[in-house]
Chain A
Amino acid sequence: MTVVELKGLSKRYGKTIAADGMDLRVEEGEYICILGPTGAGKTTALKMIAGLIDPDSGKILFDGKDYTRVEPEAREAALLSQVYSLFPHLDVNGNVIYGPRIRGWEFQQAQDIVDNMLEMVHLNRRKDALPRELSGGMQQRTALARALASGSKVILLDEPLRALDARLRIELRREIRSLVKALGITAIHVTHDQEEAMVIADRVAVMRYGKVVQVGTPKEVFDTPVSPFVANFVGQSNFFKGRLVSNGDYTVVENDMGINVKARPCQLPVGSEVIVAIKVGNTQLRTEEGFFLGRVERILYEGVTIHIDVMANGKLFSAKLPNRKYEEFSPGDEVVVGWSPDEATVFPMPEQGLEEELRLE
């Protein structure tokens, strides 16, 4: 219902930079996830959109209108915080009807909306319960119903599933998405959990050091990361350094042991220092026909998948394989690490070095 645009948004607290020229455009009715490590400035960004924090510079536009200095209550952008913030003195019904009541809607109309909403989150039987009498999942659903019933055109979700256990998280993220989509509301959801972001969002905005570093569909962000950081943060990757030998249908890179490997084509000049990244899930272990010869260090049985660490050329490579392969490997086995060239991405050498580029805080 509303297009939200952030233009060059900046905010600092003393020496800490929470937002550093942040740009983002969220389309009407789109569900976008802002994904980033702790301290990337995700919550600050959300609170600036809500109007709870004033940016130092930059603009926030709602449907093209400048909303930068508009008071929170006039933005129609409801915030759902990670602690839910259900009003302790009001019951479930009182909490959910808070928005309609405070906006002065006619009573019956407000109650109908609330009833409808409570039905959608399966809480119509717990209308009279106080927040502290509810389980974590119910509190979460009450907070969601409260945000959705307020008639807001934008919903801002700040790590809404953080406090819940894993199983409930999976169930609720599906519920949140379908509810928001059914109402056609524009949603901005902040999380540090890449799996959550991938399954819930139409598009993912990866954030770091107060900047959006990449925006795209989950597939785009996963398959074609723009930097080693994104490659590693959205689905773990194996990295190694090398020198670009040739460009063509595929790129050839020579690693520091003098071994030539193939990767997806890129625009970088021949002879430049590069980083090659291969997703852990795309890393293959074979008996022949690979690039690096290595030795299995350890094998972890993770359930559906197995995780194998291989030492090759003095570097550790990880691979995730289906669990049926569990019997095929044991520690000490010699294996060849390989990948299909179009699943390996080549990046220019980051100025501050690879370690720094991959740091999470």
Chain B
Amino acid sequence: MPMSLTKRIDDLSSRRDIRSGWFGIITLFFLAFIILPTVYVLIFGIMDFQNLSNMVLDDPEVMSLVWGAVFTSFSLALIVTIIDLIVGIPMAWIMVRKQFRGKKLLDTLIDMPLAFPTAALGFSIGIFWGLPVEAPVPPGALGIVASPYILIMLLHIIFTYPYMVRSLSAILEQIDQSYEEAGMTLGASRMTAARTITLPLFRAGLITGFILCFARSLSETGGTFIALITVGQADKFFTGPTLIAALKNDLVLGTTDVEAVLAVVSIILIITAIIFLLIIKFVLGRVGVPFDKVWPRWERVLSRGAVPKAKDVVSFVWLFAIVIIPSFFIFAYLLVPSPADMDWSGLLDALAYSFMVAGVVTLADIVLGVPLALYIARHKDKKLAQAVDSLVNIPLIVPTTALGFSLALFWTTQGLVTNLTFLVIMAHIAFTYPLVVRNVAGAVMEVDPSYEEAARTLGAKPFATFRTVLFPIVRSAVLAGAILAFTRSLGETGATVAVSPDANTVPVYIIGLMNTGDYYLAAVSAMVLIMVSFVFMFGLRYVIRREGGTY
């Protein structure tokens, strides 16, 4: 039998120079094809400053539009995050500290918004709360929110909610209940104990939840844009990312140099996002909260009787009335009679394209992301690995529209590639890659290196060690990362639109349908997209559950 491929790789992996070379290539790929394109627009801005300044910065009308949109984005993100925090803490408490029937179901419901592609979610919210201009309204819609700001706020609260509840409950689970019990035996009421003992301990969870919600709200495009189209505000009301989408769809500023405006918006979004998140991390990590003060009487009153019950009831009502029902409202379209001439071919094409993109993206993420994750997790003492570890987060906090625009600029101004599909794939890799790397690196860090060391001394070459020992142990994390990346790619709107509104993925197809007033088909497409995402999301939950039970 000729030497098999794995055997050959095993042998190669045994050489130090080849190992260093391989990790070098992976790191280089990451820096050159993910980080650099993501922030390329900054370099472009510096080089082309004169032009941008003439075209955009000196034009007060354009600049007021830009600053208005950016300000809207930040104020929205802040308000949404604070609301999430207020409703998230009691819900996290319920999930971690209470045992009741149907807890599993509740657990699934909380994750539900993650399974919704935001494009579908935006549509659903627009018709449920808002006052649609042209779209047929299914029975049961409330139609009470006229302000686009409040509408978008309601939308963002939904898809950021799971991040907050999850981050908080993850930390809460780590905090032993015995601290609180000790506090109570020392005379603290339930609320005083929770507030003065447990709450300070989970500052880390608060920060993670805050950053995740804030970054997600700041960067969301598809849902926001579609909700605005539904209520006929897409050309009047903007967040930073939807301004990019609107510019790309030629909804505003017909005469000006659109590219220059796009560059300015992207630069401002990227820089402010990074600065703002650093500030949050810094401020929340240091600011003192007056945990020492106690108000025994009031807190005792609040710990008893109707108050805690009311708090739990409000948590549930919030979950259903604000999060679950509006999300699922789009399925009410099933009650609307369908127009006679349904053309499914467009949807099928878009689906096929989306699947192709997501498939290629996921494959690339795994092949190129797992080695980087290994490098980060197993070389924690190396400066380069630590730097890469922090850099991985950048595509997660950069708004995806800005990312898409920057990336397209990188590839096309260099005249390297103009192929649309290639650009879309590269953009999707950029924002899904961190998901895989984070997941896998996290899992590998949990694995004691002594397994691999034992395998090496028993005669296994490095790649054989990975194949036969490490991979089987972290397989679920790799799979989970893959499913996350796939679902995220399937549902992404912002980055795709920013690369080109002609890229025929399902979310972009839905926007197109809405722009031409084909609302019914748009609704059907959104429902199909939701169903597909659900299948993958349940797959993910199954994988994670199984992992929890194995070792």
Given contacts A71-B14, A74-B14, contact A98 B456 (CB under 8 A): no
- Contact across chains for A73 and B454 when beta carbons are under 8 A apart: no
Give B residues with C-beta under 8 Å from A.
14, 16, 448, 450-451, 453-461, 464, 468-469, 472-473, 550-551
Given contacts A71-B14, A87-B469, A89-B473, contact A98 B457 (CB under 8 A): no
- Contact across chains for A103 and B472 when beta carbons are under 8 A apart: no
In the complex, which residues 78-95 of chain A have their Cβ closer than 8 Å to any Cβ of chain B? 78-81, 83, 85, 87-89
- Contact across chains for A79 and B453 when beta carbons are under 8 A apart: yes
Give A residues with C-beta under 8 Å from B.
47, 50-52, 69, 71-81, 83, 85, 87-89, 98-99, 102-103, 132, 146-147, 150-152, 156
Q: Which residue of A72, A74, A81, A98 has the most chain B CB atoms within 10 A of its CB atom? A: A72
Smallest CB–CB gap between B12 and chain A, Å?
Answer: 12
Q: Which residues of chain B come closer than 8 Å to A73, judged between CB atoms?
A: 14, 456-461
| In the complex, residue of chain B having the shortest beta-carbon distance to the beta carbon of A150 | B458
Smallest CB–CB gap between A187 and chain B, Å?
Answer: 14
- Contact across chains for B459 and A89 when beta carbons are under 8 A apart: no
What are some 13 contacts across the A-B interface (CB < 8 A)?
Answer: A51-B456, A52-B456, A69-B16, A72-B456, A72-B457, A73-B14, A73-B457, A73-B461, A85-B448, A88-B550, A98-B468, A102-B459, A102-B460
Which of A50, A85, A150 contacts B451, CB < 8 Å? Answer: A85
Q: Which residues of chain B come closer than 8 Å to A81, judged between CB atoms?
A: 450, 453-454
Smallest CB–CB gap between B11 and chain A, Å?
Answer: 11
Given contacts A98-B468, A102-B464, A102-B468, contact A85 B453 (CB under 8 A): yes
- Contact across chains for A51 and B450 when beta carbons are under 8 A apart: no
Q: Which residues of chain A come closer than 8 Å to B454, judged between CB atoms?
A: 79-81, 85, 87, 146
Smallest CB–CB gap between A215 and chain B, Å?
Answer: 24
Q: Which residues of chain B come closer than 8 Å to A69, judged between CB atoms?
A: 16
Lowest 8 A-B CB distances belong to which pairs? A72-B456, A99-B458, A79-B457, A85-B454, A85-B450, A89-B472, A150-B458, A102-B460
Smallest CB–CB gap between B461 and chain A, Å?
Answer: 5
Q: How many A-B residue pairs have CB under 8 A?
A: 81
Smallest CB–CB gap between B389 and chain A, Å?
Answer: 20
| In the complex, residue of chain A having the shortest beta-carbon distance to the beta carbon of B475 | A89
| In the complex, residue of chain A having the shortest beta-carbon distance to the beta carbon of B7 | A104
Smallest CB–CB gap between A351 and chain B, Å?
Answer: 34
| In the complex, residue of chain B having the shortest beta-carbon distance to the beta carbon of A90 | B472
- Contact across chains for A150 and B448 when beta carbons are under 8 A apart: no
- Contact across chains for A99 and B459 when beta carbons are under 8 A apart: yes
- Contact across chains for B459 and A50 when beta carbons are under 8 A apart: no
| In the complex, residue of chain A having the shortest beta-carbon distance to the beta carbon of B447 | A88
Smallest CB–CB gap between B318 and chain A, Å?
Answer: 41
Smallest CB–CB gap between B27 and chain A, Å?
Answer: 21
Q: Which residues of chain A come closer than 8 Å to B16, judged between CB atoms?
A: 69, 71
Given contacts A85-B451, A88-B551, contact A77 B457 (CB under 8 A): yes
CA–CA, A200 and B16, complex, Å: 37
Q: Which residues of chain B come closer than 8 Å to A87, judged between CB atoms?
A: 451, 454-455, 469, 472-473
CA–CA, A77 and B448, complex, Å: 20
Q: Which residues of chain B come closer than 8 Å to A151, judged between CB atoms?
A: 459
CA–CA, A87 and B469, complex, Å: 7
Q: Which residues of chain B come closer than 8 Å to A99, judged between CB atoms?
A: 458-459
Given contacts A81-B450, A89-B473, A132-B551, contact A156 B457 (CB under 8 A): yes
Q: Which residues of chain A come closer than 8 Å to B469, judged between CB atoms?
A: 87
| In the complex, residue of chain B having the shortest beta-carbon distance to the beta carbon of A104 | B7
Q: Which residues of chain A come closer than 8 Å to B458, judged between CB atoms?
A: 73, 78, 98-99, 102, 146-147, 150, 152
CA–CA, A150 and B456, complex, Å: 11
| In the complex, residue of chain B having the shortest beta-carbon distance to the beta carbon of A143 | B454
| In the complex, residue of chain A having the shortest beta-carbon distance to the beta carbon of B461 | A73
Q: Which residues of chain A come closer than 8 Å to B459, judged between CB atoms?
A: 73, 76, 99, 102-103, 150-152
Smallest CB–CB gap between A117 and chain B, Å?
Answer: 13
CA–CA, A232 and B289, complex, Å: 53
CA–CA, A72 and B451, complex, Å: 14
Q: Which residue of B453, B469, B473 has the most chain A CB atoms within 10 A of its CB atom? A: B453
CA–CA, A88 and B469, complex, Å: 9
CA–CA, A71 and B455, complex, Å: 12
Q: Which residues of chain B come closer than 8 Å to A51, judged between CB atoms?
A: 456-457
Q: Which residues of chain B come closer than 8 Å to A78, judged between CB atoms?
A: 457-458
Q: Which residues of chain A come closer than 8 Å to B551, judged between CB atoms?
A: 88-89, 132
Given contacts A51-B457, A98-B468, A102-B460, contact A83 B450 (CB under 8 A): yes
- Contact across chains for A52 and B453 when beta carbons are under 8 A apart: yes
Smallest CB–CB gap between A143 and chain B, Å?
Answer: 8
CA–CA, A72 and B458, complex, Å: 8
Which of B448, B473, B550 contacts A83, CB < 8 Å? Answer: B448
- Contact across chains for A102 and B457 when beta carbons are under 8 A apart: no
CA–CA, A80 and B468, complex, Å: 18
CA–CA, A47 and B455, complex, Å: 13
| In the complex, residue of chain A having the shortest beta-carbon distance to the beta carbon of B467 | A102
Q: Which residues of chain B come closer than 8 Å to A147, judged between CB atoms?
A: 457-458
